[in-house]
Amino acid sequence: MKVHKKEKGFTLIELMLVVAIILVLLGFLVPKFSGYQSKVRTAKAINTAKQLETAAMASYGNSDGKFDTADVQECLSKLTSAENPQVSAGDSDQFITISYKSDDKDYTLEINAQESSYKVKDGDKQVFPK
């Protein structure tokens, strides 16, 4: 009588089935991660805009309730971590526009001190507030 000893381990079919299941599950997750990355970039741009707005309003308070572009530029460089923000004079001394980059994308921050509001734009599309 011969005794057949069964070898331990997985067959090739079983391993291929496990790999196929893992690939299908990854296929569901990959699009979610790209959507999350987009949301993270937008949140980072809005956070940078809030830092810029706070620094600009500090300058506004120091300049007797007016936006002075040179003073705003100085406050932005001292008080924020934004890379090379550019200040543009607005229609009045109560309005100012700041252009900045976040993750190699250009954004514009429009601050209206008279209405105590600000807007963040990505090109022509308003990002904050929605």
C-alpha to C-alpha distance for 74 and 58, rounded to whole angstroms? 11
Pairing mode, strands 117-122 and 86-89: unpaired
pLDDT, position 8? 78
**pLDDT tens digits along 55-103:** 999 999 888 888 988 999 999 988 888 888 999 987 788 899 999 999 8
The answer to whether the beta carbons of residues 83 and 104 sit under 8 Å apart is no
Q: In 1-130, which ranges are continuous DSSP H helix? A: 12-62, 69-79
Count of beta carbons in the 10 Å neighbourhood of residue 26 = 9
**Distance (Å, rounded) from C-alpha 39 to C-alpha 127?**
11
Q: Sort 112 into a burial class: Cβ within 10 Å, 0-12 / 13-18 / 19+.
A: middle
Per-domain residue ranges of the chain: 14-128
Q: What is the pLDDT of residue 1?
A: 66
Q: Is the pLDDT of residue 6 over 80?
A: no
Neighbours of 35 (CB within 10 A): 9
> CA-to-CA distance for 54 and 5, rounded, in angstroms?
76
